[in-house]
Structure 1
Amino acid sequence: MPTISFPVLSVALLLAVGTASHAQTTAATWNNKQCAVVLTYDDAIDADLDQAIPALDSVKLRGTFYLIGSSAVVAKRLPEWRRAAQRGHELGNHALMHPCDGSLPGRGFVTPDNDLSKYTVSRAVSEVRANNVLLNAIDGKTARTFAYPCGDLTIGGVKFYDQLRPDFVAARGVTSGLQTATQVDLTNINSYMINGQSGDYLINLVKQAQESHTLLVFLFHGVGGGHSLNVDLKAHRQLLRYLKAHEKEIWVAPMVEVAEKIRSSPPAAAPRK
């Protein structure tokens, strides 16, 4: 029978303890579950109130809705947004005017008035803060997250969100990828933009997050229509049913709650070598 030297055994034990500690810390960050899933919906459109929120409410799941302050749907349906917030959905900040960098390729939809490349940093910051005032008037909350319009981070090479860090718990970007808690950049959280993918595709992403014990953020626009970027109602329903059926293993919560948990969790200890 082969013998194992004490030094080798000690190293093996240290690696096992370190790995277990890392797994326990990760589980604690995800509310003692395998992974965290955040459902985000951009642009404050009718489909949010007509399709997405009723679907979430039907299975008692909560999402994050990034509102454009100047959206007519915010003004016309403000009481409905307020009721959604009262039921636990987050009303996130998607800027007052949704400015995007019109100097980039494929940005023909950007108007001169809402061209981020023509903004000053102070204007961008002021408009985002003005939208926070509006959102606070709707839901009475001060803790919330931000979503970069079009995923644009800079004005003239300057990251305008740097001045907004005290105003938000975190900010969501548009770069896809699953991340452990220690990998998450709270100034630019990864997300998967969904446009036409099947329910099986959405569920497979969740399964990957479960296996890797990571954060998965979905970025939806239209649900069952209402936007050029859209997810089919059936596919969206399949995803919600899977999440509900596995809620003992998957933490589904608004972005602000997940980001706050990441901020408050101690860094995971790396496995010893």
Structure 2
Amino acid sequence: MRGAIEAAWRQDTVDVLGVRVSRADAPALTRLMAAAIQAGERLTVTFANPDYVLKAAKDPELRDMINGFDLVLADGWGVVMASRIFGRPVPQRMANDDLTDELFGVPTDERWGVHLFGNAPGVADAAADNLRRWYPGLRITGTQHGHWAGPDGRIPADVAEQLVKEINAARPDILHVGLGTPLQQRFVTEYRDRLEVPVIFTCGAYFEHLAERRSYYPRWVLKLRVGFLYRLAREPRRLWRRYTIELGTYVWRVLAYRIRNGRQR
């Protein structure tokens, strides 16, 4: 399975400021998930948005961790736009919020077990309650909050070992890890060979969205592609810098990268 992934999807990418973003679409993702689960092999999936791309450009360790995943999906129109500017467009935006049916509807039909690990205490539980209501019959093997990091920003080794044991004991087919970047990428990178789970996703604050409602972004926001403005309006104090100064920096760097390197082939 890993050979098939590396031969096809790991090569079909677009370089977005050093991050290799996969050009897979939702049906391809579903096929890869099914193949990994049926074969008992490993598929790791993370996401790239403008904020993550800028962080990776400044932090080679984070860049290498992100690029070490089997798939890096385009989270946000800023990455979709960059792929078009670079001449290798991704088929669609592939954020967690865009893939809820693939991440939970398909597992309901296939009877795959899903495990929710991350976000503040109680959030994964609330998300699980909603998911069971939206997808009757969905098998959720367990939930666990993600507030385990010590003063150094890392999960202590003994705590991580216990978390891995609990996840393995639940025997999920799909694990969602919502610890924020770079902690979630580091956790998956360090423990993926110990996690007995075929498919592993990172998901940031996705459980917070699921705990609130089925479609986090209103349709008009998605139609106009202004999700960043919607989030900024909801959390201005926390996100103002990301969606003003840093987003402007991202756009400038994308254009400079295109001028310097030309179209990708």
With normalisation by structure 2, the TM-score equals 0.34
**Which of 1 and 2 has greater Rg?**
1
Structure number with higher relative contact order (C-alpha < 8 Å, ≥ 6 residues apart)? 1
With normalisation by structure 1, the TM-score equals 0.33
